[in-house]
Amino acid sequence: MAMPSVPNLEALARIGFAARGIMYILIGILALFTGRSEDGAGALEQLNSGFGRVLLGAMAVGFLGYGLWRISDAIYDSEGHGSDAKGIAVRLGGAVSGVIHLGLCIVAASLTSGSGKGSGGDSTQQGAAATLDLPGGEILVLIGGVVLLATGALQLVKAWRADFLRNLDGEAARRPQIKALGQAGFAARGIVFLVMGWFLLRAGWESRSSEAGGMGEVLASLNPTVHALVAAGLLLFGIFSLVEARYRRINDPKVLERLRSSASRIKPA
């Protein structure tokens, strides 16, 4: 497998952060101003007309770039997470994120081409149903719930510590407005993951996939005040992602050195 060139990786990643930002902004706006609770795929469907399809095409490229960057980082450790237990966990999480965004790429591309058929129900419930049909499926779903709970807790810790700033250029990292955007955004995502984890635990415990739910179901389940706060946080996370598209330290010399070192050890297939 040939590793993408460093400049291409950086460009793809930045387009990807922008696409992710637009998606979260859409989710937040829909929840705050229309009362609609959508996940990523549902938000993308709102663009499926007129000029929106042009934007969807650009976002498909962005999701592809973001997914490839995340998977490349997991394989080559371009950000230096290391090979200890914590580093492997972070890299695996990045790989999962990459796969999810490749899925969003497919959704956006199919909508752009006019072949999109809609989300067809909650993908989290569909995934839970498929898992429950497997031998030991209840245990697997319970493990998934625990993983989501841990992910949510880590997002809240990241919001509290604001350690996401270390990934930004110094100029941006020193701006209090950007710190506030990130803290609000990661806190909102933390709450969403915690509730998703709780839903998945119930699904596994009761062996009922209908108990599972994605972001849309989480938003719909919250009381009006919490719903508004979380929706606003997701919108702010989208704006923070746009900031990352510009200021993320993908081109950190240490990162580039690790990328080149990895590339030098990999021969094209």
Structure confidence by residue, pLDDT tens digits, 100-150: 888 889 989 998 887 655 554 566 777 788 888 888 888 988 988 888 888
Residue listed under structure tokens 């590793």:
3
- Taking 80 as the threshold, does the pLDDT of residue 228 lie above it? yes
Contact 12, 66 (CB under 8 A): yes
pTM for the model stands at 0.84
Structure confidence by residue, pLDDT tens digits, 58-109: 999 989 988 888 888 788 777 777 788 777 877 877 787 888 888 889 989 9
pLDDT value for 266: 46
Q: To 10 degrees, what angle do helices 123-132 and 176-206 make?
A: 40
Using alpha carbons, select from 198, 222, 199 the residue that is nearest to residue 211: 199
Task: Please report which confidence band the pLDDT of residue 31 belongs to, taking 50, 70 and 90 as the band edges.
Answer: very high
How many other C-beta atoms lie within 10 A of the C-beta of residue 231? 22
Q: Which residue has the higher pLDDT, 240 or 100?
A: 240
Domain ranges (residues) in the chain: 6-265
